[in-house]
Amino acid sequence: MMKRTIAILGGVLLLGIPLFSQPYPLPRSSEDGIVYGKSVSRNEFGIDGGVFLSPDGSRQAVYRKDERAVTEFPLLDISTRTGSLKSIRYPMNGMASEHIDLCVCDTLGNILTTLKVTDFTDERYLTCVSWAPDCQSIFVQVLDREQHHMHLNEYSAADGSFLRTVLTEENSAWVEPQGPLHFIDNEHFIYRTDNRDGYKSLYLSGRGGILHRITTVDADVQFAGFADGWLYYTSAEVSPIENHLFRTKLLNLKKARWSRPERLTPEKGWHEIEMADDCKSFTDRHSSKEVELRVTTRSCDGTLLETSPAGKPASDYSMCDVITGCTPSADGQYENYYRLVCPKDFDPSKKYPLIVYVYGGPHSQMVRDSWMAQIRSWEPRMAQLGYFVYVQDNRGTSNRGAAYEKAINRACGQAEMADQMAGLNALLERCPWLDRDRIGVHGWSYGGFMTISLFTNYPDVFKVALAGGPVIDWKWYEVMYGERYMDTPETNPEGFELTSLMNRTQDVHGKLLICQGAIDNIVVWQHSLSFVQKCIMEGIQLDYFPYPCDKHNMIGKARDHLYDKITGWFTEYL
């Protein structure tokens, strides 16, 4: 039997939309390189799917991706008798990218129309697709390939014609749409951007443009729900390392008046919120550095409805002390948050080795006021073996406002390294028990890029390094992410020259191990193999360990093997 449900779209109640166990049929193309209804733009700009059902369930907006011009990258499959290659379309920085259209289809997969998008070039991005509640139009954020200009456009769902540009954004660093519109009626919606007031803020908008900034705090916020006139959102305004749920009521739509915000999560720490469809209640996964995870369900007036078990108490395990704090950024403009995991039975009269675990890239926040400061299981393992482990956020990471994030523009790794070293040097000054001759660094992906960057730029500091899946040169990374932060080799040659690790092979010293999945489709194998090849040609020794059947993120047996490898590497050489 076909299931039926009640759905909410921006506060508009939608009754009886059928949920099928299989998606509606999609158009098909006989040409290789053209696909319908799949995620596009490598899941950037908040994109995580390719089909957008109309509120009444009668039509679907579907991505059409034409990637025939995109170069193919071969991945080696060793499971066949003689080995074989599987090619993926991988649009590299500065090279040909995919062409995206948005088709309107019926529920049988027939194309009814295609939106007539004429903004920018054919390699522009179509993001944050949102149907109007009356199903008569579709709103799309159209972003130029350079990611400096965005048009929020409205199109007719009937014939695909352009109706109006609702608003525009532009920024010399980048514009990065992150989510759909949230309608409160057929004419008005909630819109989120960090491009107007310096923080990710919520705005009351209409088809004629932005009417009012709702969240007037100097902090990043995230939409959580809207119903019965109440807007629910999470905010970092208490602290960048805390997350809390707030609500405000729409008092007068015409005058764009809202009530004074109410905080619904009084407990200190990090609250992961899941709102009910009708916004009458919410589930709160809450913890803090000192408080283990608690899962509760509350009504929006604060009444406790249910408490769920949160799993085996951490107190049953042999835990290590975790110290948290702030340290000034290298430019003196910010306070960066850190955690320091201490060895079991720490004795300040002894000397201890230190491992810096680093990620440092966009869309990340490594330190939060959650249980044990968001500690990873590998960190206490190393602490129990007698190591201090230091983890710090830096400029370029999220939840601190636009200027903080965009400090890395056109020079990835530079502000991040400066902040990491400022924090590390301050730590060494405060902690005489840390052995300055036994400092290691480890990270994966962007953290792998940061690991080799730190290791080669500061040879007098780091003795041992292990880099996983590292970006070596941004010209080999994909268009959407790479061009946002670095532009292209043609438009930013100085930045690419400065950040390329191919220029740092002569600075490899001590013990460096690189690990990577051989079928990595995110940071392709060309990165690490090119670095290794240059080291070979220059007579420079390093170590390398491939995972032949794994992609970018290790799972299962490979992950267990990897963490044994990491632990053994530092145990042997640090």
- Catalytic hit among 137, 205, 445, 500: 445
**How many residues would you count in the chain?**
574
Determine the average pLDDT of the residues in 326-341.
Answer: 98
520 noted as active-site residue: yes
Q: What is the pLDDT of residues 131-190, one digit of tens each?
A: 999 999 999 999 999 999 999 999 999 999 999 999 999 999 999 999 999 999 999 999
Is pLDDT at 5 greater than 50 in this prediction?
no
Q: Label residue 482 left, alpha or beta by phi (over 0 means left) and psi (-120 to 50 means alpha).
A: alpha
Q: What is the DSSP string of 80-113?
A: STT-EEEEEE--BTTS---EEEEEEEETTS-EEE
Determine the average pLDDT of the residues in 3-28.
Answer: 48
Q: What is the pLDDT of residue 407?
A: 98
Set out the domains of the chain in order of their start, with CATH numbers.
Answer: 1-64+101-176 (no CATH), 181-315 (2.120.10.30), 318-573 (3.40.50.1820)
Residues 6+ apart with CB under 8 A from 184: 10, 11, 190, 204, 226, 250, 253
Q: What is the dihedral of CA 373, 374, 378, 384, to 10 degrees?
A: 20
Is pLDDT at 13 greater than 50 in this prediction?
no
Q: What is the pLDDT of residue 373?
A: 82
What is the enclosing helix (H) or strand (E) of 442? strand 434-444
Is pLDDT at 74 greater than 80 in this prediction?
yes
Place of tokens 């009530």: 259
The distance of Cα 103 from the centroid of its chain, to the nearest Å, equals 27
Q: What is the pLDDT of residue 376?
A: 86
Q: What is the pLDDT of residues 462-507, one digit of tens each?
A: 999 999 999 999 999 999 999 999 999 999 999 999 999 999 999 9
Side chain identity, residue 160:
G
445 noted as active-site residue: yes
Q: How many CB atoms lie within 10 A of CB 22?
A: 5
- Catalytic hit among 101, 220, 419, 520: 520
Averaged confidence pLDDT in the chain: 93
Determine the average pLDDT of the residues in 73-99.
Answer: 95
Residues 222 and 234: beta-carbon distance below 8 Å: yes
Q: For residue 545, which of 90, 568, 339 has the smallest C-alpha distance?
A: 568
HEC letters along 127-145: EEEEECCCCCEEEEEEECC
Question: Helices then strands (H, E): number in the chain?
Answer: 8, 34
Is pLDDT at 558 greater than 80 in this prediction?
yes
Q: What is the pLDDT of residue 20?
A: 41
- Catalytic hit among 148, 363, 552, 561: 552
Ranking 17-26, 219-228, 435-444 by mean pLDDT, the lowest is 17-26
Model confidence band, residue 315 (pLDDT cutoffs 50, 70, 90): low
Residues 6+ apart with CB under 8 A from 539: none
Q: What is the pLDDT of residue 3?
A: 32
Q: What is the pLDDT of residues 536-557, one digit of tens each?
A: 999 999 999 999 999 999 999 9
**Sheet containing 511-517: order of strands:** 322-328, 335-341, 388-392, 352-357, 434-444, 464-468, 511-517, 543-547
d(CA 554, CA 566): 13
Q: For residue 515, which of 562, 558, 450 has the smallest C-alpha distance?
A: 562
Q: Coil, strand, or helix at residue 186? A: coil
Residues 6+ apart with CB under 8 A from 567: 378, 381, 382, 385
Pairs from 145-151 (Cβ < 8 Å, separation ≥ 24): 145/97, 145/120, 145/121, 145/479, 145/483, 146/483, 146/487, 147/174, 147/175, 147/176, 147/483, 147/484, 148/172, 148/174, 148/175, 149/120, 149/175, 150/175, 150/177, 151/119
d(CA 269, CA 370): 6
Residues 357 and 374: beta-carbon distance below 8 Å: no
Residues 6+ apart with CB under 8 A from 521: 75, 88, 90, 551, 552
d(CA 276, CA 8): 10
Residues 226 and 10: beta-carbon distance below 8 Å: yes
